[in-house]
């Protein structure tokens, strides 16, 4: 299958790129939305590219580039009553929630803000704008290339 591209959101207070840089590879736990879950469980493949996006930021935008290194597997935080993402309805024998591992590739010199992304004609159909509440969303190859160029030009 051809390489695919994704955009994944986190709040800076929840997980920062400085932390990611240190950790190198992380599991993307805590997603509790079926659409996002389906992308992680069924579609994300090893080697796929991803943009790390700060939501609820000042401003919000893309801050780093990563790569999928482990394909969908059960999100164990759903089984832990002490975890904030605990979901008693997820059965370890038949897990409801899945996650992937993503490794840090590089940080943007500066944030590629949402306001900037919105101004680019080639990006006007981005899923990010249309389904703004989705924490994992697909990025087309054309969109990926445009954004990579914006990052390289920084």
Partner DNA sequence: GCCAACGTTGGC
138 binds DNA (CB under 7 A): no
Query: What does the longest C-alpha to C-alpha distance in the chain come to?
Result: 48
- Smallest gap from Cβ 53 to DNA, in A, equals 7
115 binds DNA (CB under 7 A): yes
Exactly one of 33, 46, 141, 142 binds DNA (CB under 7 A); which one? 33
| Tokens 């590089």, located at residue | 106
DSSP 8-state secondary structure symbol assigned to residue 123: G
Decide: 101 and 57 in contact? Cβ < 8 Å: no
Decide: 71 and 26 in contact? Cβ < 8 Å: no
DSSP 8-state secondary structure symbol assigned to residue 49: E
19 binds DNA (CB under 7 A): no
Exactly one of 23, 34, 91, 149 binds DNA (CB under 7 A); which one? 34
- Smallest gap from Cβ 2 to DNA, in A, equals 26
**Residues in the site for DNA, rule: CB under 7 A?**
9, 11, 32-35, 55-57, 60, 114-115, 130-135
């Amino acid at each position: 299958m051809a390489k695919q591209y994704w955009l994944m959101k986190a709040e800076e207070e929840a997980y920062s790129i400085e932390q990611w840089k240190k950790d190198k590879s992380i599991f993307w736990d805590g997603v509790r939305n079926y659409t996002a879950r389906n992308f992680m469980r069924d579609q994300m493949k090893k080697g796929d590219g991803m943009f790390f996006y700060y939501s609820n930021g000042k401003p919000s935008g893309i801050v780093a580039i990563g790569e999928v290194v482990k394909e969908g597997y059960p999100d164990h935080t759903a089984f832990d009553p002490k975890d904030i993402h605990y979901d008693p309805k997820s059965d370890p024998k038949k897990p409801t929630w899945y996650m992937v591992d993503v490794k840090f590739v590089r940080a943007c010199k500066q944030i590629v803000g949402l306001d900037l992304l919105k101004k680019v004609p080639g990006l006007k159909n981005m899923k990010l704008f249309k389904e703004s509440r989705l924490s994992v969303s697909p990025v087309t190859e054309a969109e990926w290339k445009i954004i990579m160029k914006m990052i390289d030009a920084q």
